[in-house]
Structure 1
Amino acid sequence: MTKFLPGDLAGVGTMVDSCRACADCRDGYEQYCKVQGVLTYGSREKDGKGITQGGYSDRLVVDEHFALKVPANLAPAAVAPLLCAGITTYSPLRHWKVGPGQMVGVVG
């Protein structure tokens, strides 16, 4: 079963796979996987045969758990920055429960 159909536009962030068995993965913190986290750029692929090349790749293999379906009404060029810089900002704001009236500094 897949959440994608042929022709669907998929977005991929900074990860393409993880072990999904360690405590961090089971708790939804795959980015902290110490067993076999596979980042989009510069990570050893799970098969051990290559290094991920991210946007410089001719093709990309990613587990659908790490891909997002991009709605047809959104422009890909507007969505793409959210998959890196956007989540880099959103994730800590959510983690620390930042809300209206609070001040933060974003360094990137």
Structure 2
Amino acid sequence: MEKITVHLPHKDAEGIVIPLGPANLVAIITDVGLVGCGAFDVAALDSFSYPAAKVRPATGPSIVNTNDILTGIVKETNRGAMGRGITNGMTGKQALERL
């Protein structure tokens, strides 16, 4: 597992990359919520009132690293994330700036 610090305009967040055979589980986690790859069940996280969004890659077949989260396109959000202004179509970085 790899952990890195991701610098956002108003705070730092923690990026994680967990290799799972042919794919990686990737997310960037703030003190409020997370933006992750397609493997995350954002609806399930909503049951814990935890704001979350998942992104699809802007290029390439899958999310591989935290940069892919930042440049990826939000494809699903839960109610907590929507309440913070996160919408489908924005970049992962734009979503993280709202968390």
Q: TM-score, normalised by structure 1?
A: 0.22
Higher helix proportion, which one?
1
Higher strand proportion, which one?
2
Structure ranking higher on relative contact order (CA contacts 8 Å, 6+ apart): 1
**Rg comparison, structure with higher value:** 1
